[in-house]
Structure 1
Amino acid sequence: MTDAPDNPSYTVRPASPADVEGARRLMLDTFYREFDYGYVPAWHRDVVDITATYLDNPRHLLLVAVHDGEVVATTGVRSGGPVHPPHPRWLAERYPPVTTAQLVRVYVRPEHRRHGLARKLVRQACAFAATTPGYDSIYLHTNVNVEGAEAFWRSVAKEVFDARATGEHGAGVATVHFEIPMPH
């Protein structure tokens, strides 16, 4: 796990304890600046305890992209699929919590986008899921109101459910659920 493809000044690697505060700062900035709804305890518990969630659990992973000593992108893998409610029951049943690797926190600071960081992070996260015993699917959901999110995910994943019409996360949140084929 080395440099990002388009720029050798980025290093992509698993997060270390020294990266926790920078990763948390990026995640919180994303919630407040990109999503416009801020920190929601029910949705963002992992951000409070990044170490226990990602670094201490062998089935979980947090990847970071670092530029000049700053965490500028993240991608996480956690056990678990969508939860009913707010997501539809059929979707929760399709992605059981033990066998589903969920991609989360795929965030890149706006000034560092268009360097292939998200694609590289997602590829490495999927490789981790494929080599971690017990996972048989890779799932994610995204807010497609974020500029570039929908086009990016459609380029690497298959849509499973477009929840925009349901308003499952409330007004202003446009959620689409995706699956990425498990790498071999």
Structure 2
Amino acid sequence: MKDLTRRAEVGPYVIRHATPEDVHGARSVMLDTFYREFQYGYVPAWHADVVDIERTYLDDPRHVLFVAVRDGEVVGTTAVHSRGPAHPPHPQWLAERYPCGRTAQLARVYVRPAHRRHGLARAMVRMACEFAAATPGYERVYLHTNVDVPGAEGFWRSLATEVFDDRTTSEDGGFRTVHFEIPFRGEFHAG
């Protein structure tokens, strides 16, 4: 059962579980990130959770969406879902190491540019890892990041351990992603 009362304050921001009232704002943060930062926009095969945030993150007891809110506006998101990396396109050994159901995958860790450098992503990731540790059945916390987003790779290296650098698998740089694992069950470090 999710503890929906969990919250943290980071300066003027509140980090908490998303509610149905937050869905529009959270979706806006995610879509703006796809279009403005990733520069490839919405891709249905990759972003189905963004269309149905309620069913994906609010209704499923093993999934969660955290939001960073300031003055009623959602300015950041972080999600946990129980899907590991898919093979293909990722290597089979990676999918086997992080199987669906037993893997808590961090996703949608986004903060609007004007609200960065305040510790929001770090606070949301901490809450996400605590959620994973408290949810029966999860054995590992996994994530992958797009290294072309400024600051993303350095941020994750301050919190997580690299498992696989996909840029090394092909001449064209693979998917431009690095895969990471974050220790949990009380082992999270603040970097």
Interval containing the TM-score (normalised by the shorter chain): over 0.9
TM-score, with length taken from structure 2 = 0.91
Specify the SS of the correspondent of 2:118.
coil
CA distance in structure 2 between the aligned counterparts of 1:106 and 1:158, rounded to whole angstroms: 17
Q: Do residues 11 (structure 1) and 28 (structure 2) align?
A: no
Write the letter of the residue equivalent to 2:26: A
Per-residue deviation, 1:133: 0.3
CA distance in structure 1 between the aligned counterparts of 2:174 and 2:116, rounded to whole angstroms: 24
Specify the SS of the correspondent of 1:142.
strand
Task: Determine if contact 2:166/2:174 at 8 Å carries over to the other structure.
Answer: no
Task: Determine if contact 1:3/1:9 at 8 Å carries over to the other structure.
Answer: no
CA distance in structure 1 between the aligned counterparts of 2:173 and 2:57, rounded to whole angstroms: 30
- Describe the shift of the 1:83–1:141 C-alpha distance in structure 2 as closer, same or farther (beyond 3 A): same
Matched residue, 1:180 = 182
Unaligned runs of 5+ in 1: none
Aligned identity (percent) is 68
Per-residue deviation, 1:173: 4.7
CA distance in structure 2 between the aligned counterparts of 1:120 and 1:42, rounded to whole angstroms: 29
TM-score, with length taken from structure 1 = 0.94
Please, which of 10, 25, 30 is the counterpart of residue 27 of structure 1?
30
Unaligned runs of 5+ in 2: 1-5, 187-191
Task: Determine if contact 1:77/1:104 at 8 Å carries over to the other structure.
Answer: yes
CA distance in structure 2 between the aligned counterparts of 1:174 and 1:11, rounded to whole angstroms: 32
Specify the SS of the correspondent of 2:14.
strand
What's the Cα RMSD here?
1.6
Length, aligned pairs only: 181
- Describe the shift of the 1:84–1:172 C-alpha distance in structure 2 as closer, same or farther (beyond 3 A): closer
Q: Do residues 112 (structure 1) and 108 (structure 2) align?
A: no
